[in-house]
Amino acid sequence: MATKKESRVEVKKTYKLFINGAFPRSESGRVFEVTAKNGDFIANPALASRKDLRDAVTAARAAQSGWSKATAYNRGQILYRIAEMLEGRADQFESEIVFTSHVTPAKAKALVAEAIDRWVWYAGWSDKLQAVSGATNPVSGPFFNFSISEPQGVVAIASSDSFLEFIDAIAAAVVSGNTSVVLVPGGLAVPAMSFAEVLATSDLPAGVINILTGSLDELAPWAASHMDIDGFDISGIQKKKHGALKEAGAENLKRIHSFGSGKTPARILAFMESKTVWHSVGV
Amino acid sequence: MSFYGLVDGSEKSLIQYLDQLSGVDQVGAEARAAMLATRSIKTTSKKWAIETAISMVDLTTLEGADTPGKVRALCSKAVRPDPTDPTVPSVGAVCVYNDMVEIARTHLDAIGGEHVPVAAVSTAFPSGRASMEVKIQDTQDAINAGAGEIDMVIDRGAFLAGKYGLVFDEIVKIREVCGDKAHLKVIFETGELVTYDNVRKASFLAMLAGADFIKTSTGKVAPAATPPVVLVMLEAVRDFYAITQRRIGVKPAGGIRTTKDAIKQLVLVNETAGPEWLTPNLFRIGASALLNDLLMQRMKMSDGYYASPNYVTID
């Protein structure tokens, strides 16, 4: 006979990928193990394959035109909405970071608060970028000459294992109108997939941010050589491997950058291109 | 008159023949098509499949907005799908509206594409709603302009009303117009035929009337060339071959956009009709966007990295 004290069976979360607004398993069916500092099992996130990367790039490319054509105001609103959702689930992110990054609860709390503030800081740039980076250039002739910054297209991100840097990289890439494919290593997979759940409930159009968990060493070379990726943020990859990735990305003149921690608008502009327009002044 | 000694062309003999055909097991057909779709085709087999699929594409543009320029561009692409790589085979045919046939034929001949036939959609495509005189004239015009293949639509309304004789006569008459100048493909618009039984009946009806190819759809109605429909049609040509010793071709059209879809179709052909059908003479794929995906997959296999649509032509 069952007694009242019988403990219930816990409903465990299956960690999957985030591609085109949906949560599919890896095409390869592979997973890897994330453990706590003491070796306790935490989760089995999906180990993404190069075909998952290909699918994510297809989704990002399809979403690119809609996202970049949305008004800066609208993009800012959606990114702010994401911050609202993050705030509501701050406790969950804190505990996941404590388990997977082995930091104290106080440190995790500060980290999550900082991450949310960073996200809002970057979101605010959406309708201010043109004022700062655009220009009316003086030319010798009866012409107006404008330089306007435009998003590059699809940006891949090889994130470091820090949640804060993960947030920085994504916010900087998508605020200008780029779409992104984010490669997430190791234990960061756990809070990263919770972040994907935040994105899925924030009116963010499908495909704008795609998240793949797994091995950077496996996926980064495929991302670097992929002809349909326009920019690649390799901040999460060791310096000694940068050369090989830059070489692989040369075929389609991919912009490959690496950034330190800290917030800067330069990081947004790194994945934007300047378009120059001439227009006659008239008489 | 006798057609393969099976029917005499009268409505009564057609009804008799078509009604004795075995029915299609809907669940079984769908399950088998789904099972065959899980076959994994890799490395050298995949390379072969991609090149075979390219040679089977009927590169199609059937838009109200088609211009002579667009048709010429399409013809150039048909002859040399990848301008950077001459080892890519030409496609099976260029498929255009009637009034574009002459432009396409002239341009193909001018650029060394004599081996690529022009297919014209005919008989009041896509609805098939016109008088017989108009349909015959439509077909005659296309042949006079140099069409080597005629893609005719059947009168689905008549077929669904049970007027098999009417549909049969139309196909026979268009077959006569084609003579030995043009191959005849008969389009059923399977999305409008409702059941697999109807698809099987229509397949036999068209084959008995003299079709060289049976084709699923116009591309204007969804669903179009779903794997189970193609499976049913491939079974029909297989059974027809067993009875008459004549091989009829199959052309799925509409909704086949990716290399994966195309390879699934090739698997269906091989496993249903048999490897004899794996040739552009007996199997074609009506498509426009598919060719770019095939080329991109081919680039991926030869270059070792993923390709971008920026490096293939838009149309």
Which chain B residues are within 8 Å of A226, Cβ to Cβ? 305-306, 308
Residues of B assigned a catalytic role: 151, 215, 251
- Give the nearest chain A residue to B310 (CA atoms): A228
Among B133, B152, B134, which residue's Cα sits nearest to residue B95? B152
CB contact under 8 Å between A225 and B305, yes or no, is: yes
Q: Is B275 on the interface with A (CB under 8 A)?
A: no
Q: Is residue A29 part of a domain?
A: no
Q: How far apart are the first and last CA of chain A?
A: 95
Distant-in-sequence contacts of B228-232, Cβ < 8 A, 24+ apart = B228/B26, B228/B29, B228/B30, B228/B32, B228/B33, B228/B196, B229/B190, B229/B196, B229/B199, B230/B33, B230/B265, B230/B268, B231/B29, B231/B32, B231/B33, B231/B36, B231/B268, B231/B272, B232/B24, B232/B29, B232/B196, B232/B199, B232/B200, B232/B203
Q: Is residue A11 part of a domain?
A: no
Q: Is B20 on the interface with A (CB under 8 A)?
A: no
Query: What pLDDT, on the 0 to 100 scale, is given for residue A2?
Result: 53
Exposure string for B181-218, b = 16+ CB within 10 A, e = fewer? ebbbbbbbbbbbbeebbbbbbbbbbbbbbbbbbbbbbb
Distance to chain B for A63, nearest Cα, Å: 15
Provide the 8-state DSSP code for A151: E
What does the pLDDT look like over B119-153, one tens digit per residue?
999 999 999 999 999 999 999 999 999 999 999 99
Contact criterion met (CB below 8 Å) for A194 and A96: yes
Q: What's the CATH number where A124 sits?
A: 3.40.605.10
DSSP string, A16-46: --BBTTB-PPPTT--B--EE-TTS-EEE--B
CB contact under 8 Å between A228 and B306, yes or no, is: yes
Domain residue limits at B203? 11-301
Residues in chain A: 283
Q: How far, in Å, CA of A224 to CA of A238, rounded?
A: 15
Q: Which two tokens stand for residue A161?
A: 């294992």
SS3 A144: strand
Distance to chain A for B296, nearest Cα, Å: 10
- Best A227, A251, A253 member to test B by mutation, with max B CBs in 10 Å, is A227
β-strand partners of B96: B120
Task: Count structural domains, chain B.
Answer: 1
**Residues 249-278 of chain A whose Cβ lies under 8 A from any Cβ of chain B:** 251-252
Query: What pLDDT, on the 0 to 100 scale, is given for residue A102?
Result: 85
Q: Is residue A120 part of a domain?
A: yes
Query: What pLDDT, on the 0 to 100 scale, is given for residue A283?
Result: 63
Q: How far, in Å, CA of B17 to CA of B6, rounded?
A: 8
Query: What pLDDT, on the 0 to 100 scale, is given for residue A4?
Result: 62
Q: How far, in Å, CA of A80 to CA of A175, rounded?
A: 11
B115: buried, middle or exposed (CB in 10 Å: 19+, 13-18, 0-12)?
exposed
Complex ipTM = 0.86
Q: Is B84 on the interface with A (CB under 8 A)?
A: no
Exposure string for A196-223, b = 16+ CB within 10 A, e = fewer? bebbbebebebbbbbbbbbebeebbbbb
CB contact under 8 Å between A227 and B311, yes or no, is: yes
Task: Count structural domains, chain A.
Answer: 1
Query: What pLDDT, on the 0 to 100 scale, is given for residue B1?
Result: 73
Kindly give the pairing relationship between strand A143-151 and strand A272-280: antiparallel
Q: Which two tokens stand for residue A140?
A: 């010798």
Using the Cα atoms of residue B143, residue B145, residue B151 and residue B154 in order, give the sign of their dihedral.
Answer: negative
Q: How far, in Å, CA of B141 to CA of B180, rounded?
A: 15
Q: How far, in Å, CA of A203 to CA of A194, rounded?
A: 16
Q: Is residue A31 part of a domain?
A: no
| Mean pLDDT of each 10-residue bin along chain B, 315 residues long | 89 94 96 95 95 97 96 97 94 96 97 97 94 96 97 96 96 96 96 96 97 96 94 98 97 95 97 97 96 96 93 85
Contact criterion met (CB below 8 Å) for B293 and A228: no
Q: Is residue B311 part of a domain?
A: no
What does the pLDDT look like over B175-230, one tens digit per residue?
999 999 999 999 999 999 999 999 999 999 999 999 999 999 999 999 999 999 99
Distance to chain A for B310, nearest Cα, Å: 8
Residue whose tokens read 């970071």: A97
**Residues 185-244 of chain A whose Cβ lies under 8 A from any Cβ of chain B:** 222, 225-228
Q: How far, in Å, CA of B94 to CA of B57, rounded?
A: 8
Q: How far, in Å, CA of A281 to CA of A139, rounded?
A: 11
Q: Which two tokens stand for residue A230?
A: 């326009």
Domain residue limits at A187? 40-280
Q: Is residue B104 part of a domain?
A: yes
Q: Is B311 on the interface with A (CB under 8 A)?
A: yes
Nearest to A54 among B304, B306, B310 (CB): B306
Q: Which helix (H) or strand (E) holds A274?
A: strand A272-280
Q: Is residue B306 part of a domain?
A: no
Residue whose tokens read 């341009």: B107
Q: How far, in Å, CA of B171 to CA of B185, rounded?
A: 10
Q: Which two tokens stand for residue A177?
A: 């109108």
Beta carbons within 10 angstroms of residue B270's beta carbon: 18
Among B68, A246, B302, B170, which residue's Cα sits nearest to residue B311? B302
Q: How far, in Å, CA of A236 to CA of A185, rounded?
A: 9
Contact criterion met (CB below 8 Å) for A30 and A212: no
Kindly give the pairing relationship between strand A34-35 and strand A41-43: antiparallel
Q: Is A58 on the interface with B (CB under 8 A)?
A: no
Q: How far, in Å, CA of B237 to CA of B204, rounded?
A: 8
Q: What's the CATH number where B52 sits?
A: 3.20.20.70
Residue A102 CA: distances (Å) to CA of A31, A39, A94, A95, A162: 22, 11, 11, 10, 11
Q: Is residue B174 part of a domain?
A: yes
Q: Is residue B314 part of a domain?
A: no
Distance to chain B for A222, nearest Cα, Å: 7
CB contact under 8 Å between B305 and A248, yes or no, is: yes
- Give the nearest chain B residue to A221 (CA atoms): B305
Query: What pLDDT, on the 0 to 100 scale, is given for residue A261?
Result: 86
Q: Is B23 on the interface with A (CB under 8 A)?
A: no
Provide the residue-wise pLDDT of chain A in tens; the chain has 283 residues: 555 667 899 899 999 999 999 999 999 999 999 998 888 999 999 999 999 999 999 999 999 999 999 999 999 999 999 999 999 999 999 999 999 988 999 999 999 999 999 999 999 999 999 999 999 999 999 999 999 999 999 999 999 999 999 999 999 999 999 999 999 999 999 999 999 999 999 999 999 999 999 999 999 999 999 999 999 999 999 999 999 999 999 999 999 999 998 899 999 999 999 999 999 987 6
Q: Is residue B63 part of a domain?
A: yes
